[in-house]
Amino acid sequence: MKTTIRRWVETDTGHRIPNHKVKCCNLHGHRYRWEAEVEGDTVTEEGVSDEGMVIDFADINRILTEHVHDVIDHAFVVWEGDETTLRALKEMGPEHHTVMVPFIPTAENLARWAFEQVAPHIKSIYGNSMRLAAMHVWETPKSCATYRI
Ligand SMILES: [Zn+2]
């Protein structure tokens, strides 16, 4: 039996789905919620800070902040093949926070991206089989994509 815990950070991030049949082809943004789900055994080592935990929530928060929030907050995420948007963003000048990615920035693809950003940093020193089990990306309060391995 494993225990899972979740912690999230939020960002304000712009994107565009260039081929979308309705409104998502417009430049727009979301208040994204990036929710990491970590699985493992609870730490049994007596007297350590993490005793009884899978991982300290503060540690997940630090990892999410550094590898997701600080990369993508108040940025515009653009697919490297979206030449129209890339031209427009170039007009914004070199100070504009643009994040170019090799995929169309749907919630599904962003969930995989965030998983790959975070997973290498979820490590245990207690041998409690801890790992990042999933990344849930909330694009709106009613729309969530999950990447899970
Ligand atoms: Zn959108």
How does pLDDT run across 67-109, given as a tens digit for each residue? 999 999 999 999 999 999 999 999 999 999 999 999 999 999 9
Q: 12 C-alpha to center of ligand 1: Å? A: 11
Q: What angle do CA 26, 28, 31 make, to 5 degrees?
A: 150
Backbone angles phi, psi at 91, to 5 degrees: -65, -25
Q: 43 C-alpha to center of ligand 1: Å? A: 39
Q: Which CATH superfamily is domain 3-148 in?
A: 6-pyruvoyl tetrahydropterin synthase/QueD (3.30.479.10)
Q: What is the helix, strand, coil percentage profile of the chain, to 5?
A: 30, 35, 35
Q: 118 C-alpha to center of ligand 1: Å? A: 22
Question: What residue segments make up the domains of the chain, in order of their start?
Answer: 3-148
Q: 112 C-alpha to center of ligand 1: Å? A: 16
Q: 80 C-alpha to center of ligand 1: Å? A: 17
Q: For residue 37, what are its two tokens?
A: 């789900």
Q: 4 C-alpha to center of ligand 1: Å? A: 29
| pTM of the predicted structure, to 2 decimals | 0.94
Confidence of residue 23 (pLDDT cuts 50, 70, 90): confident
pLDDT at site 66: 98
